[in-house]
Structure 1
Amino acid sequence: MTKAGEPFVLFDSGANNQDRYLIFGTQQYFEDSYIGRVRRNIRQNPRFLIALWNCHQLVIDNLPRTNNNIEGWHHAFQRLSKESGYLLQPSARY
């Protein structure tokens, strides 16, 4: 439970399910982010449209579903720049 009294686990597929999964978050967050909240009998647009979070076509096209490869590159680049003490700076000529 959150401090506001909302349940934090929204869905549990069950302990007997071999591929068990849990959905964490509050109903308010889930509605605002993925479904769209109903206000004045009108459903507002969600924060993330289905086209942004749906991975079906990515799986079919054999593309990565996350940006972990980019984050890995960024982490390695940051580590190397800190180790060498060299920071990229804009050229004074421009």
Structure 2
Amino acid sequence: MISQVIFLFISGAEIGFVLFIVLLVFGADKVPEIARGMGKAMRQIKDATNDIKSEITKGAEKQGIDIDITKDVQKQIDQVKDDVDEVTGPIKRKF
């Protein structure tokens, strides 16, 4: 098994080079501030996305729309498993 992490098709050397350029452009003092700011922005985006998802879910529930497709899919998967077990049951018993 190959244990490589692919991060946006960028190798470790390329990431290091980009970080080196960022360090040269902004300086060592500003890099932690920039990282903190990016972290806060990413957190705000994640929170906004979660808020939108919850609003959509609440709106769908108020209108009686079933948005949980996974239950239906799981029921169908279980039905197929049962059908396969019915067919393969006698075969398994013979062996």
TM-score, with length taken from structure 1: 0.35
Q: Which has the larger radius of gyration?
A: 2
More helix by share: 2
TM-score (norm 2): 0.35
